[in-house]
Every structure is written in C-alpha cells, then in structure tokens.
Amino acid sequence: MASATQHNSAMMAVIDSGLGGFSVLRALLQRAPTLPVVYVADTAGFPYGKRTAGEITARAAGLVKTLQTRHSISHVVLACNTLSTLSLAALRKQFPAMQLIGTVPAIKVAAAQSQSKRFTLLATPNTAHSAYSRGLIAEFASNCMVDCYGAPNLARLCEASLLGDEVSDKAWRGEIAPCFFDDARGKTDSIILGCTHYPLVLEHLRAHAPWPVEWIDSSDAIARHALKDYSVTPGKSVAYVTDPNDVERYTPLFTAEGFAATATLNPAMLQ
C-alpha cells in the first residue's frame, strides 16, 4: 500500500462479485468489530470467473467511482481473487490516492506448509490460469508440484448454496475432484482456496474430498493487511447489489451480517 496515513473518518469498502467477500468481511470484523463497511456485491456482473480482464476492470472502476460519490472511502478491499489477479494493478493506476488491497492466492503459505510439496490452487478459471498466479508459483513454489484447477461452476454453486438453494452432492464432488492427485509426482496434501466464496462452504468441500487435506484460506491475512494503517471510527455499515432484482433476496443475508441497509447501485452508473 502506498502510505501509512491514518484515516479517522473515511469508510472501508469491500467489493466482490457476490457473497464471497463475506469471508474477508468476517475476518475484518473479527479484528475490528466496530468497523463500518460499505459492501458491494456486483450481482449484475456475477460470476467474474468467465469474464475478460477488461470487463472486470471496467466494472470495478465504475463501482469505485460510484461509491466515491456516495461515501467517504479511503480503503477498498478487492475481496475477489479473480478481480485482484486480473485488475489490481490497473485499478491502482486509476485510483492512486486510494488504498487498494487485493486478495491473491496463498501460494507462499502453501509452499511453506506442504509436507508432500504437492498442492492445488483451486480457483475460478481466470485466477487459476492467470499470469499473476503463475508468477507467484515461480517466485514462491519452484520446489513444489503445483496443480492449478479452474473450477468452472464452483463459485456459482457457492453463491446458490449461501442463498439457500439445494446443491447436490454430485455437483460438489464434480467441482473439486480434479483438485486431488496421487501419482508418481506426489500426493496432494493442501488445497488453496483461491476464491473468497470457497471458505464459506468449506464444510461441503471437506465432506466431498477423497482424503483429508489442509485447506488454506487467506482471509485473515487480507484483513490484517487492510487494517494495519486504518483507524476505526464506529458507524453503520451499508450493502449494495448491482442488480435491482437481487435486493429482496440478498437483504436477509446482509442483515444477518450486521448491515443496516441494502440498496442498489444503478448498473447504468457502471461506465
């Protein structure tokens, strides 16, 4: 981050394509229970995993610009691995005065912890195959066998499950089975949760894993980083969705997380 300036009144924003950012949000509130948060679920753009980098960056830039017209915001947590790995650098150039905190795969942690030196990055297709992820592997895990799997539908299944929809055991198994290897190159002993949705359904992932592994979540590290130069002033939190049709369905979930209100950011403003 650019500086260690203390911000005493500006709020912190958390942006995700949907509810995945709750994993980072909960970590933030665990460390700073009175933190006021502006949360944006870009439900009109969900899922990000199959969108282009240009589309994702443009949507995120529009969200930040719109938030700046409504709130005093000093920090923005990009609580989405896909958004961060594809767009963080570009967004920092567009908003040089803003503290932008990304969420990126915990390759370094996995490499240090893995006993077999074989682990999998489980993520969306965009994150799993991004140049950013490849760079992290080259820098921190050159002595490991790292399998990268872009689960095509797992984020969508997570979002549906969090909203109360039924997800079959077969669907869960089909999304995570390709993460596990046991061959001449070693046995998978760790899975990096490379999408912020995944920690929220960890009980399902564990239940359908073919053998026990370490599940590595970076949420607390992101929260610690976001709060290290931030002075909390208590206040009310507000949540937004970008599809007006989602307000009614998402409001109970945001209320349960402590948000005072759920409203819409007009998709027409995302230019």
Catalytic residues: 80, 195
Distance CA 203, CA 8 (A): 38
Q: How many helices (H) and strands (E) does the chain have?
A: 11, 12
Bridge partners of 182, per DSSP, are 187
Distance CA 21, CA 81 (A): 10
Q: What is the distance in angstroms between the CA of the first residue and the CA of the last residue of the chain?
A: 26
Question: Does residue 37 sit in helix, strand or coil?
Answer: strand
Burial class (CB in 10 A: 0-12, 13-18, 19+), 168: exposed
**Residue of 176, 197, 180 lying closest to 188 (CA atoms):** 180
